[in-house]
Amino acid sequence: MKRKRTILDKKGFVEKMMEDTAKAIDGISKDIGKSVIDYTFVPGKDILETDDSVIVHVDLPGIKKEDIDLDVTETRVRIKADFDITQEINRGRHLTLHDRKSGVIRRTVRLPKKVIPQDAEAEFENGVLKVEIPKQEKTESFKVEIK
Instruction: Name the burial class of residue 58, with classes exposed (0-12), middle (13-18) and buried (19+) by CB atoms within 10 angstroms of its CB.
Output: buried
Convert the pLDDT of each residue in 36-51 to its tens digit: 444 445 678 999 999 8
CA distance 10 to 30: 30
User: Side by side, which strands form the sheet with 68-72?
Assistant: 68-72, 76-91, 95-110
Q: Are 112 and 133 in contact (CB under 8 A)?
A: no
CA distance 109 to 85: 25
Convert the pLDDT of each residue in 50-91 to its tens digit: 989 999 999 988 888 999 999 999 999 999 988 877 766 666
Tell me: pLDDT of 131 over 50. Answer: yes
